[in-house]
Structure formats: structure tokens, C-alpha cells
Amino acid sequence: MEHGVIVNFDDVGIGYEKRPIIARKLDISIKKEEFWGIIGPNGGGKSTFLKTVLGLIPPVSGTVSYEYNPVFGYVPQFSNFDDIYPFSVKDFVAMGRYSRIPVGGSIKKKDWDKIMQCIETVDITHLLNRPFRSLSGGEKQRALLARSIAGYPDILILDEPTASVDWKGEAEIMSLIASIREESKFTVMMVSHYLDTVKKYSEKVILIDKNKNIFQFGSNEELINSTNLSNLFGIDIKVENADNRFSSIV
């Protein structure tokens, strides 16, 4: 495997029950410290691709290989988390530490030190003993981020991390993610419908839509343009490169 590669797809078909959802076979490598933005319509195959990266579903064909046993951090949309359980924020974030604890082991003082450091990093120390389910949308996203980095991941998976917060919250959370990544040097793979966010933060991009048999990947500069995005979403999208803004023409 090429030096620096964490996850490598070799002639991989993604799908379920031996049925590929995209006709083409995928050859793609995810390297250390890269920031990938993943764009596509709802139901286009983004989650299937991520689940294959995570090893949650096997490839239909080909081989997915790892340089070592990487630790993954995962930030879902908070609305997908079943919050009926009365976990405190402290206990909720501590769940993320178990990826670094041997089977049958328990959380030690050194682990709690790292957990508290993550809570402080995302600025929710004042919420420590609050039930997770009582938090606002932005607060939940910060708690989810703290939980995902508590295991000091090699790859951080972000599934629309700002979809349920307002503009100010989106800017704050993305700035926080960029700051943590700069310090920790982990790889990021982010699904987002905010094209300007993907354009601003990602270095590499994946465009995916199983219904149109689209799977393109490359640099931000290569792929984020009016032609590719209009084809992907089926509407006219104008990319204004001067300020990284987008407009649609129906």
C-alpha cells in the first residue's frame, strides 16, 4: 500500500446483498491528514460509501484494505441519535473513549483526563452534568464532536455535522472542527449539503449519485464547478469562485 494511505479501495463495488448500487468499480485511497468533502443528493449513496469505509458493510466486490487498524470517530446528525437515555454530557462523551480501551477494561484516570480535555476543547464544560437530551441543537453537536475525538481518531467521519443548526452555529462548529484537526492531524471525511462549506474546508471532493451512476473524486479545484454540480443535482448551479459562493437557477 502506498505510504500514508489509511484506507484503500481496490476495484471495489459498493452496495448491499451482492448488488452494487454504482456500476463502476472504485479505486480510491484515503490518506493521512486529508480533508474530504462528500456531496450528492439524498439517497445518492453517500451513507453506503461511508459505511463501506467504516467496515460496517462489506464490499460487493474488490478489496477494502487498511494500513493498520485505524480508529474512527463519528459525528452523526444529532437528530439521528436516540436520546431517550438519560446520559449526562460527561458520560455521553466518555463513550467515545472506549475505542482506545482494551476489551473488558475500564476508564482510568488518564482516560478521564483526555475526556475532560475534549469537553474543554469544544467549550461545553459548563454542561458537564446536564442530560444530553436536554441540550440545544448546537450544544448536542458540540457534545457529539467531543465524543468523536475522545478516542483520538485517525479518521473523523462527519455526517452533515451542521444540518440542524443555524448559520452562526454552522460557522462556529466548522471553525472548531478545523481548529481541532489542525492540532490533531487526523483525516476528515464530511458529508454536507452546504456547498460553500465543502468548498471552504475540503481539499478533496467526492461527487456521488447512484441514480445517475456518478462517482467522481479529485481535488476541490478540479471538481467543484458549475458543470459537475449542475449535472449532479439536476439544476443549474453557478459557482462564483471569487467568494466561494453558489447560486441555483431553476
Q: What tens digit of pLDDT does each residue of 130-166 get? A: 999 898 888 888 999 999 999 999 999 998 888 777 8
Whole-structure pTM over 0.95, yes or no? no
Task: Report pLDDT for 1.
Answer: 58
Q: What is the pLDDT of residue 239?
A: 82
What is the predicted pLDDT for the residue at 69?
A: 87
Sheet of 5-13: strand order equals: 26-31, 5-13, 61-66
In this predicted structure, what is the pLDDT of residue 53?
A: 95
Phi, psi of 215 (to 5 degrees): -150, 100
Contact predicate 201/173, CB 8 Å = no
| Regions of the chain where pLDDT drops below 70 | 1, 77-85, 241-250
Rounded to whole angstroms, the Cα distance separating 195 from 193 reads 6
Sheet strands side by side (includes 214-219): 72-75, 155-159, 187-191, 35-39, 204-209, 214-219
The pLDDT score that the predictor gives to residue 26 is 96
pLDDT of 248: 47
- Angle at CA 142, nearest 5°, toward 161 and 74? 50
